[in-house]
Amino acid sequence: MNYNLNQLSTQQEKQSTYKALKRLLQLISAERKNLWLALIAILVNSGLLLLGPLLVGHTVDTYIRTKQYHGVLVFGGILLVMYFFAMLTGYTQTKLMGGVGQRMLYTLRSAIFNKLQELPVSFFNQNKAGDLISRVNNDTDKLNQFFSQSLMQFIGSIVTMIGAGIFILSIHIELGAAALVPAVVIVLFTMVLSPWVKRKNATNLKSVGGMSAEIQESLNNFKVIIAFNRRDYFRKRFDDANKENYKTAIGAGLANNIFVPVYGLLSSAAQLTVLLFGIYLISKGSFTLGLLVSYISYTTNFYNPLRQLAALWTSFQVAMASWDRISQILLLETDLKQIDQVSEISSDALMEFKDVHFSYDGTKEILHHINLRFEKGKTYALIGPTGGGKTTTASLISRLYDATKGTVLLNGKDIRTYSAEERTQKIGFILQEPFLFTGTVKDNILYGNPQYKAVTDDELKQIIAEANLNDLLAIFDEGLSTQITSGSDSISLGQKQLIAFMRAVLRNPELLILDEATANIDTITEQLLSSILNKLSKETTLVIIAHRLNTIENADEIYFVNEGEVQQAGTLKHALDMLLEGKRVS
């Protein structure tokens, strides 16, 4: 299945702004109360601001022209109180929406992170971590900015504009019509250019993701870069990504700034029209000075929000482009779903592969016609030349991927019928490069064993002793409290494998896969591991992938995996012959 976010099919990618907005609103439905309160605040705010010019016009015509200054003072006071309340409602709205934005940011980031946890390994093979980080951090923040700073301003501006438009038309219909002509031009202009602006922003966000992917890759590989003195190579790649980002940012900036000057020009044209037409009407005696003062204020009240809308529209377009990138992740469905039992095929082995085929990309087949049986309590070894398909087979055993054809059965049932929890409880997998979290040895052991969360250090030590893992723990200077920094070199790869080993053994899985788990461990520790493995529950099935044949001496059965095919190797000596033969072939 295609999980590459930057190469989704057009149908997956194309979403109308309306649909995207609808889903976004569903996501923030918990904020309904705050949104309503903020909406009321902004409506009151706009209403108060709209009443202002009417009162000013009334004051000019009724009191200033008749020189009744007492009335001027009274209306001045009323206006002051009104504007004060307008300020209060404006502040309330800003505060409410700031909270909504932050909570939404939190909800969205959690939703994306949870989705990332659900997605299969192939998703992470096809997407760069840097781009995903950019979506989780940068794109969600763009949405937050829109929600906390722009949304209510957006609504407020529209309300003020509509209100001012009604006043303009109701005071004098012809003058109103003349004043609104530039607005029609603005609307048409916006409609035509908006898709282009959104596209420019989407390209820019994509290149920000690309750049962060480059940074992430070079930071991850800095040792290789230094060891091979390939700074120039990564510098060039970063330079290209940075240049691309610069180019797209210029494009997006140009697109984002095109509305403001055009809106400014057209609103000035509207003011001028009103002034000239208004003076003409006054000279003909069909209009008053007070009305013209109100009128000019309303025209300003109409066009100023429109100008603001230009900036807000840009922020809206950026937010929508970000939302598209976020929803691309949220809409993905894992293809490793739990299914109901579909076929009648069954098995009496702990695990069985029945005519399994597998391909990572849907084109090149990596495993062909695999038939394997793992019985309860037995030890199996997978050997074979590098690239032969051992790790791929192990990945299918633990359902990191699904077979392209054929069936993998666990306890006689299709492995796909188990929930992820059931499956991981039954199958333990120690990877070639185990992943550890920043924290102590204890934290890392507990990570895979939540059942021991509540136990004390002494109790945990007791549990470790009972599992015969004491000697392994003793290798760490500070025992359970030894600090580990994820990705750092505070401990060796071999030590990491030992922690992963303890973590997996304590789960007491029915089937334990060790993928080259002893490759980085000295001979003495390796003997220790092998004695622990021998003492494992008689019920535990072991699948060992190893290059070093001494690690698999005790295997009940040896499978030879070469060029995607699996054969029984029989004795160790025969396995060795096959390996030598296989190596010559490959």
Task: Examine residue 366 and tell whether it contacts ligand ATP (CB under 6 A).
Answer: yes
Using DSSP bridges, classify how beta strands 557-562 and 565-568 pair: parallel, antiparallel or unpaired: antiparallel
**3-class secondary-structure state, position 293:** helix
**CA pair distance 392, 189, nearest whole angstrom:** 56
- DSSP type of residue 5: G
Task: Examine residue 238 and tell whether it contacts ligand ATP (CB under 6 A).
Answer: no
Letters for 367-386 (x = contact with ligand ATP by CB under 6 A, - = none) are: -----------------x-x
- Rg of the chain, C-alpha, whole Å: 35
**CA pair distance 225, 373, nearest whole angstrom:** 44
Minimum Å gap between C-beta 215 and ligand ATP is 23
Q: In Å, what is the CA distance from 155 to each residue of 21, 270, 426, 488, 497?
A: 15, 22, 55, 50, 57
Instruction: Give just the sign of the alpha carbon dihedral 354, 355, 356, 362.
Output: negative
In the list 176, 210, 389, 434, the residue contacting ligand ATP (rule: CB under 6 A) is 389
Task: Examine residue 310 and tell whether it contacts ligand ATP (CB under 6 A).
Answer: no
Please state the φ and ψ torsions of residue 110, each to the nearest 5 degrees: -65, -45
- Contacts of ligand ATP in 110-149 (CB under 6 A): 125
- Contacts of ligand ATP in 515-574 (CB under 6 A): 561
Range in contact with ligand ATP (rule: CB under 6 A) among 29-37, 226-234, 390-398, 415-423 = 390-398
Minimum Å gap between C-beta 510 and ligand ATP is 23
Q: Which is nearer to ligand ATP, 201 or 551 (CB)?
A: 551
Letters for 185-214 (x = contact with ligand ATP by CB under 6 A, - = none) are: ------------------------------
- Contacts of ligand ATP in 146-185 (CB under 6 A): none
Task: Examine residue 360 and tell whether it contacts ligand ATP (CB under 6 A).
Answer: yes
In the list 172, 354, 390, 442, the residue contacting ligand ATP (rule: CB under 6 A) is 390
Task: Examine residue 391 and tell whether it contacts ligand ATP (CB under 6 A).
Answer: yes
Q: Do 383 and 562 meet the contact criterion of CB atoms below 8 Å apart?
A: no
Q: Tokens at residue 119, please?
A: 């997605």
Letters for 320-349 (x = contact with ligand ATP by CB under 6 A, - = none) are: ------------------------------
In the list 195, 261, 387, 487, the residue contacting ligand ATP (rule: CB under 6 A) is 387
Q: Which is nearer to ligand ATP, 322 or 393 (CB)?
A: 393
Q: Which uninterrupted H or E stretch holds 374? A: strand 365-374
**CA pair distance 324, 330, nearest whole angstrom:** 10
- DSSP type of residue 521: S
**CA pair distance 114, 334, nearest whole angstrom:** 12
Task: Examine residue 7 and tell whether it contacts ligand ATP (CB under 6 A).
Answer: no
In the list 392, 482, 525, 540, the residue contacting ligand ATP (rule: CB under 6 A) is 392
**CA pair distance 97, 394, nearest whole angstrom:** 50
Contact set with ligand ATP (CB under 6 A):
125, 360, 366, 384, 386-392, 561
